[in-house]
Each structure stands twice: as structure tokens, then as C-alpha cells.
A and B are shown apart, each in its own frame.
Chain A
């Protein structure tokens, strides 16, 4: 694949061309030349887009695609197309499929379905067999097939001894263990954040205490065991403080936050709209302030769209019965840009790569091409016309966002 990108502003703080507008010549999947003006002598396909900006391709550490088993929610093929259209060149896919991805052969199946795609799909294997939180799955065997981390998605590891053993065992082969931060016996039947809104709606509350207890427990376990722990999608001020303290102690812990937990509070639920039913739940403004502070000081390592397609049949029902989750790939960039500068947004969307062993490819001559293409300045209202996913369950519908994505160039393919 040979392409000439015309007048693109490069956003890559590690590149010599950072913050400059250049033409970029791409030949056989590599950047062969970067210069202010490049003549198209070979008559390559030209990319000439309004206010075009490029950065290193983005990484999402948690997406769900429903395949195998829930293809009505999303397929791997369309999920990866959605990722590409949203600027992501690498996504880590959760194991919450049917059957659960908890064996070497299941990992191989995912790899087979995703091969030869512009987007690199990294499978996450289940931490426990069938994600039942009873016995460890064959973690090493899955790692040899390409599993980049081990997670039971939103199912917390209830037994602390099981997490202790998982951390110890996975450290044998440098495996990354993920533990969803929720103490189920405190969260109970809570369906939204416990606060004044849950009280006024009569909905059962899920207190921030449930998250803090689990994070504190997991950090104590990590301090004892060593190993690598990733705490996905924290949502509370207490979690930020606990993890900040753990990092001071040099524990090998990382964490992420979902984009929507940075943007919206639980007051969105006042109308019982199930689009806002997510896990962890939308919290309060003081939680958001603490999360943003955690991003600024590096306590929070990465943001994730926490992309989770849910069919309309499981959303357009009574609140208690509706499934948790929102799609997020399509809105991630535009939503983050309402909070952060373009440079910071790009940093947040690329920062998690190293934790999941994803190679970064700096925008420089001779390097493999791995690019996101976007217009950071355009403002618009997010509607279903912006959604590429099979399921349309976005909590950003009708919200004002900033920045639209054109697509990606990666794995020697262009998706625009």
C-alpha cells in the first residue's frame, strides 16, 4: 500500500515533526518521507482532508465485541471497523463472550477472526475458568497464544486468596492480571451511584465504598505477592488516592478510567434513561475532579472507551432490568477533547500501550506506519449517524463533542 498524505499537522511529542504541518509519504507500510512538500511522482493515492491532523494510532485497553456468541451485539469484523473509523489501531478485547475466552484455542479463534485487519486486536483471556472466580484458567497456555492480559471483565474476584495466587502465578511469565474494582457484598443490588440522585429516584445505590474496599484489598495483595496488577475503570476519588499511594510505594500497578466516567455525573440518570446505566456507575463531580487530577499527575495510566455494545432489547426496558454498558469507541476522542487539549488527549489515547506490550511507532521516516487521522477542531452534536457499531447504546447521544476522526493507516491498510 502506497499513500501520500498531504498537509497533515503531526501531533507526536516524540517526533521531530511534532506540531508541524507536513506531507507524509507512505510506501509498503512504512513512512518513507516526511517533508513540507512532497511531489506525487508515482501517482500514489493522495489523502487530502480538511484540517487534517495525524498522531500515532490510538490504543484502547478494554473493548467488547460479542463474538463468539453475541454477534447480535457486535461482530469482530464490524467492531474492528468501528475501532478503525474511531482512530484506534490497537484494541484489547475482553473475554466476556459465549463461550468465555478461557483457553488457548479460544484465543487462537479470536486471532484468526481478526487477522489481516487494519486494526490489531489483542485478546484478553479470562482470569478464571468460565470467569466464575473459582479456579484459575490456563493463563500461561493462553499467553503463548497471544493473550495480553487476564481479566474476568466486570466480574470481581470475590476470593482474595484467588487473586493472591493469580498474581503470584502470573508473575512466572510476566502476566498482567486485571481485577475489577468492586466489592459485590457492599454494592449489593445497586444499579447506580449511591447519592442524592439514587435516593430521589428510589433506585438502589452502589456506593463508592464498594470500589474503595476492593482497590485497597487488591493493593495490599499486590504488595504481598509482587507481580503486575491492572485495575480497570476506576471511578472514585478514593481509588485515585489509594493508587497514588501505592505508586509511591513502587507497586507495579496501573489503572484506567472510562471516558464517560470523566465526562458525566450520576445526575444524568434523573430521567431513568438506561443509556446512562454503566458499570462502574457515573459518580459525582468531586469524583470527576479527583480522576482528572489523577490523570494530570500520572496516577491514572490510561483512558479507555470501555466499549460495550448492548442490543436495544436489553436497553429499552425498565431500568432495573436493563444491561449495563455503553459503546464508546466512536465518541472517545470527541468526548476527551471537551476536557483536555488535543496533545493531552492523544497522550491519553496512546499511553497505555506499553503496559499491554504494544509497540509504539513514532512518526519518523523509516518507521512502520501506525497513524490516526483526525480533525481536532470541529464541534458537533453526537448522534446515531456518528455510530458505526451494530448496537447504538451510546450515552453520548445528543451530547456536544469536539473533534472528528477520519480513520487510520496501520498494518499496511488504510481505513477512512
Chain B
């Protein structure tokens, strides 16, 4: 198979396992490209991509923009703060106006779950979801799995725990779908207030004791507590959260094996992860960032090749 089964990347749950493998094989190639002295290929000279960010982002936006530029696509950027959205324009109208300027592909971050799915039904463009509320963040999950594959050789059969604020996390949901699709065993760990009540029905283990979770896993993906998404207080204080769900060097050293530590960023040092862990050789946090560009290049390239057909 040399093409994706989908025309959009709206979420991992719309992908098949072979799509993920194709993305990874393509990303292997692009990872070599971005480590050459000339980090660019001319593949997408005829493609224009709009990055529509209706919610703040730094690393994801930069990563997408770099990926697009290294594929030689034309890139336009748009964020809600400078847009007519604030004047009352609908999402469909905003995007259709941009598409009228002959844009081929849209990368969108949006605060509402399902915004990408909604848009894909009403506009004519290939859409990449760069995060929609607490729904999905598929490229993050892809780069996470790619990084596990790079570090441990394979994702299948590995025990991966996702720690922290699962309730408000699109990263957690996409990671669960991606890891399950590739045959990994998945656990979520956090305070019960931040675990969705029915999460076990997605086929994941649920644990509220961090030590037990770390003892079980090969990889721990530490999530940030998303205070900005919380309407009420889900735990009494950051101090208490850290006491129960923060990873520190002493805790890692007390395990009877060496596990891999991941974090999608941005890190709150001293909260979910201490500096000595974040900067240790067990952590692959910066590898994730580097792989993010290669994986996004792969996704964009594969979707663009469908446009060209």
C-alpha cells in the first residue's frame, strides 16, 4: 500500500493500522532529510497549506510550519486573535474565504471537539486536525508512537502508561487509539477526578497509584495538568498533585527496571516531572519534538499526494 485510506487526518480512530505504518515508513525517510545539511525537498512546490489556529499553540504550530516549509509548500498562517471570527463570522465562512484564495490543505487547531470532522463535511479541502478540544491530536499520537518505535524497536506488545489529566486531554485519547491499533497495552493513571468514568471501555487499564503504574510499564507518557480547561478544581493543590502523580528521580530509581519517559510538552518542571528526570537519558522528550517534524512531513506529504491524484 502506498497511500492512506483517508483523505483527511481528523483523528487516529479514523485510521487503519497500515496507515500508521505507511506514515512511519515515510517519516523515516523525512527524518533523514531533516538531518542533512540541506533540510528541504521540493515535493510540494505546487501545494498551498493554511495553518488555522483558533486556539493558542507554539510548538505544534512551529512544527507544522517547519514540516510544510521543508516540503517546499507555500504556507499561510492564521490565528483567531487576528481574524474575523471575533466579528461573528462562522467557521465554515472563515475557511471557505481562505480556500477561495486557492488553498489546498488546511491544518486546524480548534477549541471544540469535532470541529475538524464538522469542517470536513462542509468545505472542499484536505484537513489535518492539529487538536480539537478534548477530542484528538492525531499527529502528536503519531509522533509519540514513532518515538517509542525508535527507542524500543516496536510499539506492539509494549506497556505504555499515560499519566495525568486524562479527562481534558486530546493527547491521551489519540494516544490510546494509536497504541491500541499497534498492539500495545495501555494504562491511564491519574487522580480519579481527572479520569473519564467510562475510559476503561476503550480497552485500557485504569490505575490511580503512580508507583504501581510505573512498575507495570515500559513507557510513561507524562501529561500536563490542563488548568485552562478546568471549570472547577479537580484536586486541592498542585503540591498535592505532585506528591501523588509527579515523577521524580528517586521514584524512577526505586523501580526494578529502567522505563522510558515521554512528555508532549510544554513541561511544568517540578509538577508532573522533575528537572532531573526531564533531562535524564531515560527521557526522550526532545526526540519527540524532532520526530514531530518528520512525522508531520510524512502526513502532509501523503495527504497531498492524494490531492495530486
| Residues of A in contact, count (CB < 8 Å) | 23
Cβ of B253 < 8 Å from any Cβ of A? no
The residues in A between 166 and 204 inclusive whose CB is less than 8 angstroms from any CB of B are 188-189, 194-196, 198-204
A47 part of interface (Cβ distance < 8 Å): no
Report the minimum CB–CB distance from A354 to chain B (whole Å): 40
* Chain B residues within 8 Å of chain A by Cβ, number: 28
If A194-B198, A202-B173 touch, whether A320 touches B113 (CB-CB below 8 Å) is yes
- Nearest-Cβ distance from residue A224 to partner chain B, whole angstroms: 31
User: Which residue of chain B is the closest to A203 with respect to CB atoms?
Assistant: B113
Most buried by A among B114, B118, B198: B114
Please tell me if the beta carbons of A318 and B202 are within 8 angstroms of each other in the complex.
Answer: no
Question: Which of A195, A198, A318, A319 neighbours the largest number of chain B CB atoms within 10 Å of its CB?
Answer: A318
Chain B residues with CB under 8 Å of A188's CB are: 231-232
- On chain A, the residues within 8 Å of B231 by CB distance are 188-189
Please state if B133 and A320 are interface contacts (CB–CB under 8 Å).
yes
* Given known A188-B231, A202-B134, A202-B173, contact A272–B90 (CB-CB < 8 A): no
Verify if B263 is at the interface (C-beta below 8 Å from A): no
Q: Which of B93-128 contact A (CB under 8 A)?
A: 110-115, 117-118, 122
Residues of A within 8 A of B135 (CB): 201-203
Q: How far is the CA of A203 from the CA of B173 in the complex (A)?
A: 12
- Contact partner of B113 (CB less than 8 A), chosen from A195, A272, A313, A317, is A272
In the assembled complex, B197 has its CB within 8 A of some CB on chain A: yes
Contact with A272, one of B91, B118, B201, B232 (Cβ below 8 angstroms): B118
Report the separation of the CA atoms of residues A196 and B173 in the bound assembly, to the nearest whole angstrom.
12
Q: How far is the CA of A162 from the CA of B92 in the complex (A)?
A: 43
Q: Say if the beta carbon of A220 comes within 8 Å of chain B.
A: no
CA distance A319 to B134 in the complex (A): 13
Query: CA–CA, A316 to B110, complex, Å?
Result: 16
- Chain B residues with Cβ below 8 Å from A199 are 173, 196-199, 201-202
Instruction: Name the residue of chain B whose CB is nearest to the CB of A188.
Output: B231
- For A318, the chain B residues whose CB sits under 8 A away are 91, 110, 112, 114-115, 118
A321 within 8 Å of B by Cβ? yes
Q: Does A271 contact B (CB under 8 A)?
A: yes
Interface status of A207 (Cβ within 8 A of chain B): yes
| Contact call A200/B197, Cβ cutoff below 8 A | no
- The winner among B13, B118, B132 for most chain A CB atoms within 10 A is B118
Contact across chains for A195 and B198 when beta carbons are under 8 A apart: yes
**Complex formed: what's the CA distance from A202 to B132 in Å?**
9
**CB-nearest residue of chain A relative to B170?**
A202
Interface residues of A in 122-164 (CB under 8 A from B): none
Q: What distance in Å separates the Cβ of A79 from its nearest Cβ neighbour in chain B?
A: 27
In the complex, chain B residues whose CB is within 8 Å of the CB of A194: 197-198
Q: Is B218 part of the contact surface with A, judged by Cβ < 8 Å?
A: no
- The smallest C-beta distance from A67 to any residue of chain B, in angstroms, reads 25
- Whether the pair B201, A320 counts as a contact (CB closer than 8 A) is no
- The yes or no answer to B136 lying at the interface (CB within 8 A) is yes
The docked-state distance in angstroms from the alpha carbon of A333 to that of B227 is 47
Q: Which residues of A contact B170 (CB under 8 A)?
A: 202
For window 318-364 of A, CB contacts with B under 8 Å fall at 318-321
Q: Complex Cα distance A217/B117, Å?
A: 39
- A209→B188 CA distance, assembly (Å): 24
B122: nearest chain-A partner, CB-CB: A316
- B119 to A, closest residue via Cβ: A318
- The residue of chain A having its C-beta at the shortest distance from the C-beta of B136 within the complex is A202
B117 lies within 8 A of A200 (CB): no
8 Å CB contacts to A: which residues of B69-94?
90-92
Which of A189, A200, A201, A202 has its CB near the most chain B CB atoms (within 10 A)?
A202
Looking at the complex, which one of A189, A196, A202, A319 makes contact with B118 (CB distance below 8 Å)?
A319
Q: Is B117 in contact with A271, judged by CB distance below 8 angstroms?
A: yes
B118 to chain A, nearest CB (A): 6
Given A202-B136, A319-B114, A207 and B197 contact (CB-CB distance below 8 Å): yes
Asked if B202 and A317 sit within 8 Å, CB to CB, the answer is no
Q: Given the complex, which residues of A lie within 8 Å of B91, measured CB to CB?
A: 317-318
A269 nearest in chain B by CB position? B114
A96 to chain B: closest CB distance in Å?
24
A196 to B202, CA, bound (A): 8
Contact of B201 among A196, A207, A321 (CB under 8 A): A196
How close is B70's CB to chain A, nearest CB, in angstroms?
A: 30
Inside 8 A of A320's CB, which chain B residues have their CB? Answer: 111-113, 133
- Contact at A319–B113, with CB atoms within 8 Å? yes
- Could you say which residues of chain A place their CB within 8 Å of the CB of B92? 316
Q: How far is the CA of A323 from the CA of B53 in the complex (A)?
A: 24
Contacts of A202 in B (CB 8 A): 113-114, 132-136, 170, 173
Decide if B202 touches A201 in the complex (CB within 8 Å): no
Q: How far is the CA of A313 from the CA of B117 in the complex (A)?
A: 18
Residues of A within 8 A of B136 (CB): 202
Contacts from A to B (Cβ < 8 Å): 188-189, 194-196, 198-205, 207, 271-272, 313, 316-321
Can you spell out 23 A-B residue pairs with CB atoms less than 8 angstroms apart? A188-B232, A194-B197, A195-B198, A196-B202, A198-B196, A199-B199, A200-B173, A200-B202, A201-B113, A201-B135, A202-B170, A202-B173, A203-B113, A203-B114, A203-B133, A207-B197, A271-B117, A272-B114, A313-B90, A316-B90, A317-B90, A318-B112, A319-B112
Q: Which 6 pairs, one residue from A and one from B, show the smallest C-beta to C-beta distance?
A: A202-B135, A272-B114, A202-B134, A202-B113, A318-B112, A196-B201
Interface residues of B, Cβ cutoff 8 Å to A: 13, 90-92, 110-115, 117-118, 122, 132-136, 170, 173, 196-199, 201-202, 231-232
